[in-house]
Structure 1
Amino acid sequence: MKNLLLATSLALLGAVPIAQAQTAAAPYHLLRTIPIGGEGGWDFLTVDPAGERLYVAHGTQTEVIDLKTHKVIGAIPNTPAAHGIAVVPSANRGYVSCGRNNFCVIFDLKTLKNLGTIATGPKPDALFYDAFSKRVFAFSNDGGKSSVLDPATGQVVGTAELGGDVEVPATDGKGHIFVNIEDKSEVIEFDAKTLAVRHRYALAPGAEPTGLAFDAKNNRLFSACANEKLVVTDSKTGKQVAVLPIGSGVDGAAFDSATGNIVTTNGGDGTLTVIHQDTPDKYTVVATIPTAKGARTVAKDPQNHLYTCTADLGPTPAATTENPKPRPSIVPGTFRVLEFGK
């Protein structure tokens, strides 16, 4: 994902409430707002279906929400500039990438205790546990080198040379991992065990892809791009199937297999774009649903509920020599998770 505080730059007009314009016909509506509070920026959210928890990267700590009660039940401390979270129930371990510090924090799933750090490649961003290879991938958003970890020990067991600034991954569950390359405007496939890159697929006219979702049944990749386009790619052939308009400031994408909907979270204009898969080769934009400015990342649970997060913004500090383009401040105590469903 972009810099941890990118949400602020995407929300120069300030946070807005969930609009009353949603109708009964909308494919998703706001189910609840979960207040978290605190300070700092935000990035990824990760659902742990086994533990029925939602993990949210938030400033210098990682919030933990119980999905049964919809309450904050704790936090993983000392995760500076937190970006991504990966959960490995079989090892009772979780990992948080800390982009500015070039390391991942290891934590205990039961106690949430911080168990220490492991050095990674530069700017670790998205984190992903691949059950097929039984590895954790710490994808670097700088330098093209991504670290591969043993989830039981946290030790680096390999380096994936992916050739660009890596963003969000997806998997077919059979040893093939797909990931967006932001600076090259590509989506690539690499082998989860050998780490060899198998294919590179150009996304033009899409540019700077971030969010990625995958339809395993029909072998379709959905790359959400910064220039307000969603590009659909056949993962087997690399053929570009469709290009759809989406909102601004996107950083997340999800595929709802129960309905055939692809959803992007657009933090710039504070919306969800909902695109329906009419057939594997035909897609239609069916709704634009208000969320809030800055709500740009997304996680999905097994019930196809969607989670995103944001906060209100305060004044923009004066420009300085060290910081000539300051971003708006974040109003303390306003950070929250928004849950959407049908």
Structure 2
Amino acid sequence: MRIHPLTASYAGLALLMATAAAASTTPAVTGHIAGPDGGWDYASVDPAHDRLYVARSTSVTVIDLPKGKALPSIGAIAHSHAVVPLPGTSTLMVTSGHDDSVRFLDTRSGRELGRTAVGKDPDGAFYSASLKLAVVMNAKAGTVSEIDPKAMKVVRTITLKPGLEYPQQGPGSSLFANNEDENELETADLATGKPGKSIALTGCEAPSGLAYDARSGMLISACDNGKAAVVDARSRKLVKLLDIGQGPDAVILDAARRKAYIPCGRDGTLSIIALDGARAPRVTGAVKTEPGARTGALDPRTGKLYLPTAKWGAAPAGQRPKPVPGTFHVLVVSLS
């Protein structure tokens, strides 16, 4: 269909105005969803089924997003770290850190479909749509398990270094994984199984969360010393360090809205990073959240963020504070 030039100009103006409005929005905490007690780690949104999954100490918390309430927990996990919905299925892959396994759960019934042994202390994980493989970081073993999710079996193990945290697939079949012990990014080729050269993250201590923005080709690592390290995935060089809050454990990418968010649990803040512009990536502000909100997940359809946390009791001398029983909840952060 041919579009009249004047109509096209109005359409372009409307698109420009919508883009400007989206760029000017500031996130804010707009609610919270109560859940069961227990520790937590990473979270994932499954937009196809309107569910949020949160990795917990002994199970997986399931939250119905339209209703904003927790459903019965599923699985029997020995300290879960990552929860990965497998696209096009009702299967959830969960890393189980204390028994060195990966579990596969039916999200409809909660039944365990199978499990496979991996390396010691499986932590971060993701599903590669291009390779049709699940990829798991075994933190203490320093290995990467490539898993056929249909067969629920390990098909290859790549040896890197102990200390592996969160991974991302970069350009092509490249793998990048934070190493919190070595303060660097480990690399490998997932197609060939060959490890690559490490990338030093000078000025970044104990990197944990990691995101990859395909449009800019940049990786963003969250560091425990109030910094975020930006790395060019193609040149494999550290580009810059950004100032963020204290105590992060995730980098949450919103590629469509050209933002990245880093929840900083020690400060109780959410650092906002713009992905576009002359000096991008750059920090453009921070939102007050709550102490302990250090991981989270994005609903790509709405732009809402979901950050697990709890209320905290006073800490005895030399010890970490503990969550107050009955206070676990998930913060809802919306675009205002």
Same fold per TM (> 0.5)?
A: yes
Aligned partner letter, 2:209: G
Is 1:208 the equivalent of 2:201?
Answer: no
What's 1:120 paired with? Answer: 118
Distance 1:279 1:240, change over 3 A: farther
What's 2:297 paired with? Answer: 299
Partners of 2:87 and 2:255 in 1: CA distance: 24
Equivalent residue for 1:336, pick from 308, 326, 329: 329
Partners of 1:89 and 1:253 in 2: CA distance: 21
Greater Cα shift, 243-252 or 183-192: 183-192
Deviation track 1:222-270 (CA, whole Å, cap 9, x = no partner) reads 1111111111111000232221111111101122234432211101111
Return the offset for 1:143: 2.4
Return the offset for 1:26: 6.7
What's 2:143 paired with? Answer: 145
Question: Cα RMSD between the aligned structures?
Answer: 2.1
Contact 1:241 1:281 in 2 (8 A): no
Contact 2:63 2:71 in 1 (8 A): yes
Return the offset for 1:209: 0.7
Q: Which has the higher contact order (CA 8 A, sep 6+)?
A: 1
Greater Cα shift, 272-281 or 154-163: 272-281
What's 2:93 paired with? Answer: 95
Using the size of structure 2 for normalisation, the TM-score is 0.86
Distance 1:136 1:283, change over 3 A: closer
Is 1:217 the equivalent of 2:215?
Answer: yes
Partners of 1:124 and 1:114 in 2: CA distance: 18
Q: How many residues in Structure 1 have an aligned counterpart in Structure 2? A: 311
* 1:1-342 alignment, distance < 5 Å: 27-36=26-35, 38-172=36-170, 174-279=172-277, 281-303=279-301, 304-316=303-315, 326-342=319-335
Return the offset for 1:157: 1.4
Structure 2 gap segments, 5+ residues each: 1-23
Runs of 4+ with deviation above 6 angstroms: none
Contact 2:82 2:95 in 1 (8 A): yes
Aligned partner letter, 1:219: G
Contact 2:43 2:295 in 1 (8 A): yes
**CA radius of gyration, larger in:** 2
Contact 1:268 1:293 in 2 (8 A): yes
Greater Cα shift, 76-85 or 90-99: 90-99
Greater Cα shift, 251-260 or 264-273: 251-260
What's 2:13 paired with? Answer: none
Contact 1:47 1:55 in 2 (8 A): yes
Contact 1:252 1:296 in 2 (8 A): yes
Partners of 2:86 and 2:73 in 1: CA distance: 17
Aligned partner letter, 2:272: V
Contact 2:171 2:234 in 1 (8 A): no
Partners of 1:190 and 1:184 in 2: CA distance: 16
SS where residue 196 of structure 2 aligns?
strand
